[in-house]
């Protein structure tokens, strides 16, 4: 018999809604602190003497690599420790790092602060999703997740708006250069959005911790050694400790040879890239992220061969993850450099731009992610490939629309076209998590999402903004950098169509392939 699921009282449901409201606010702060760098780009670039490629690195790679690496062990800690405490600690950490960004005097200072933001934010989302799952009945979870995810675009829009307003008002107030402590407007903007997060962290800590698994009729006792589990997962991704982790998992000479060969190959490739095009921080950081991913994948194959078989060797899984990663490449690149584009090519005042572009991002991003998810589910009900087709359309529409946006002289038309790009750029977000989870057994979903997030982060966030900035620096025209981002949508569409070809067959053969890899008939493998 399935486990009995408890019914919520009215008072319990109200408190769960209160918890959801607080966590939405946390997610809003998450994306305010992440996205504010976009509107501040040209101010920081001028004051610190940086290039567009360096700014793309700070927004993308410096954040993404450490967000991805620490997301795995912190996600495991969310499964075994007190989630409200982990969210509060994560929020306090990234808020402090955001505020510290306002004291940066050079590229290194700002890079270290952005790494801190990435590490801090890595612990929030896994804990929040887990806490919400234990606060609401399964029948309400899709709606709850949609409400929680709305914080992405509300926060991104507010980050652009607040940054623009603070810089314009501060610079206007101190035209004579007599600002307190010599602070620039962009520095004050980091203080304004960072410091309130410390108060929110205290508020989060007051939330009740729901019983893990109770809403599914499977209450789970507290783990006796949560930080031991965290340490194991940390060893699996941190270079230098990955070999120890593989040894503990029973790796043989072949596994170590593959691991060391990958490390050597990445080192040679990194040297070649630095020697040919420069930007050593970008390529060293990316190599670290790729090596950590390879090491973690090896560990997954050793501890759970059926999961590795379904996640790493299912054709539709590989193609859909790569397709969505290229969509993220385009989305992050366009999303970050949209504000500098309007400033440079349409001569928009930063305060006005923050209001308009922030509003477009918030409203149309929210509409895109919501309507895209609804359409994907409706199409999926009629055709197993329906979700993939939604993502494919979302990859193709921004190409002509974005080209028109880049080269029109009308600012009103450019804003309108950007609204379409923002909406379609968000429409695929619901496709990724749902499709990936459809292609694995229920017990493997956490690992599948981890692989999905790692790939999207490494290809999308770590490469997208940097590539746009790099092309902008080399060509002297930011529009060419944004054009390069749009071309990634064509690669995304190709991978998604490949995924659609095998999706139905891969779903039908899922259990058979898992059993062939060692899955027990009852699917109870650890």
**CATH code for the domain in which residue 225 is found:** 1.20.1250.20
Same domain for 320 and 202, yes or no, is no
Encode pLDDT of 95-109 as tens digits. 999 999 999 999 999
Quick check: is 135 in a domain? yes
Same domain for 173 and 83, yes or no, is yes
Q: To which residue do tokens 């990634």 refer? A: 488
Provide the pLDDT for residue 128. Answer: 86
Same domain for 319 and 186, yes or no, is no
> Could you tell me how far CA 49 lies from the centroid of its own chain?
28
Encode pLDDT of 473-518 as tens digits. 999 999 999 999 999 999 999 999 999 999 989 888 888 888 998 8
Provide the pLDDT for residue 525. Answer: 47
Question: What whole-number distance in Å separates Cα of residue 148 and Cα of residue 131?
Answer: 12
Among 232, 252, 284, where does a domain finish? Answer: 232
CB atoms within 10 A of CB 463: 25
Provide the pLDDT for residue 1. Answer: 47
Same domain for 317 and 207, yes or no, is no
| Tally of residues, the chain | 526
- Which of 47-51, 395-399, 519-523 comes out lowest in average pLDDT? 519-523
Quick check: is 36 in a domain? yes
Provide the pLDDT for residue 524. Answer: 47
If 0-12 CB within 10 Å is exposed, 13-18 middle and 19+ buried, where does residue 60 land? buried
Quick check: is 297 in a domain? no
Quick check: is 2 in a domain? no
Encode pLDDT of 393-437 as tens digits. 999 999 999 999 999 999 999 999 999 999 998 888 777 767 787
Provide the pLDDT for residue 526. Answer: 43
Range(s) of the domain holding residue 128: 8-232
Q: Domain total for the chain?
A: 2
Same domain for 224 and 310, yes or no, is no
Quick check: is 522 in a domain? no
């Amino acid at each position: 018999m399935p486990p009995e699921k408890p019914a919520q009282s009215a008072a319990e449901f109200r408190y769960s809604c209160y918890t959801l409201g607080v966590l939405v606010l946390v997610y809003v702060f998450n994306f305010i602190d992440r996205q504010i760098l976009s509107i501040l780009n040209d101010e920081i670039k001028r004051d610190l003497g940086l290039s567009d490629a360096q700014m793309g690195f700070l927004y993308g790679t410096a954040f993404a690599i450490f967000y991805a690496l620490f997301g795995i062990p912190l996600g495991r800690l969310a499964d075994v420790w007190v989630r409200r405490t982990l969210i509060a600690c994560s929020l306090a950490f990234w808020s402090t790092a955001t505020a510290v960004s306002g004291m940066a005097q050079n590229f290194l200072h700002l890079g270290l602060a952005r790494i801190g933001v990435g590490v801090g934010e890595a612990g929030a989302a896994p804990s929040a999703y887990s806490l919400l799952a234990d606060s609401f009945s399964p029948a309400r979870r899709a709606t709850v997740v949609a409400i929680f995810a709305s914080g992405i675009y509300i926060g991104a829009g507010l980050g652009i708006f607040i940054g623009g307003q603070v810089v314009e008002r501060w610079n206007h107030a101190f035209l004579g250069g007599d600002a307190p402590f010599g602070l620039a407007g962009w520095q004050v903007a980091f203080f304004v959005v960072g410091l309130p997060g410390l108060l929110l962290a205290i508020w989060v800590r007051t939330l009740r911790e729901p019983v893990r698994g109770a809403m599914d009729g499977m209450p789970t006792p507290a783990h006796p050694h949560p930080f031991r589990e965290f340490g194991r997962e940390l060893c699996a991704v941190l270079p230098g400790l990955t070999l120890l982790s593989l040894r503990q998992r029973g790796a043989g000479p072949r596994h170590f040879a593959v691991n060391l060969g990958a490390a050597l190959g990445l080192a040679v490739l990194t040297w070649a890239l630095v020697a040919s095009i420069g930007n050593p921080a970008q390529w060293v950081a990316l190599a670290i992220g790729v090596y950590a991913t390879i090491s973690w994948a090896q560990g997954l194959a050793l501890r759970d061969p059926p999961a590795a078989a379904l996640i790493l060797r299912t054709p539709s899984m590989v193609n859909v993850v790569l397709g969505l990663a290229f969509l993220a490449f385009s989305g992050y690149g366009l999303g970050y450099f949209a504000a500098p584009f309007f400033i440079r090519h349409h001569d928009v005042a930063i305060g006005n731009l923050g209001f308009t572009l922030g509003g477009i991002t918030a409203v149309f991003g929210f509409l895109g992610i919501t309507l895209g998810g609804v359409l994907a589910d409706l199409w999926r009900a009629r055709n197993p490939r329906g979700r993939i087709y939604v993502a494919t359309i979302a990859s193709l529409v921004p190409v002509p629309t974005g080209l028109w946006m880049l080269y029109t002289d009308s600012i009103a038309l450019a804003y309108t076209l950007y609204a379409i790009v923002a909406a379609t750029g968000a429409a695929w977000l619901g496709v990724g998590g749902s499709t990936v989870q459809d292609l694995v057994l229920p017990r493997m979903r956490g690992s599948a999402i981890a692989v999905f997030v790692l790939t999207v982060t490494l290809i999308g966030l770590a490469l997208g903004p940097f590539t746009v900035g790099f092309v902008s620096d080399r060509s002297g025209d930011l529009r060419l950098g944004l054009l390069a981002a749009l071309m990634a949508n064509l690669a995304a569409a190709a991978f998604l169509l490949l995924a659609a070809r095998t999706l139905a067959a891969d779903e039908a053969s899922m259990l058979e392939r898992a059993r062939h890899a060692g899955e027990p008939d009852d699917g109870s493998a650890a």
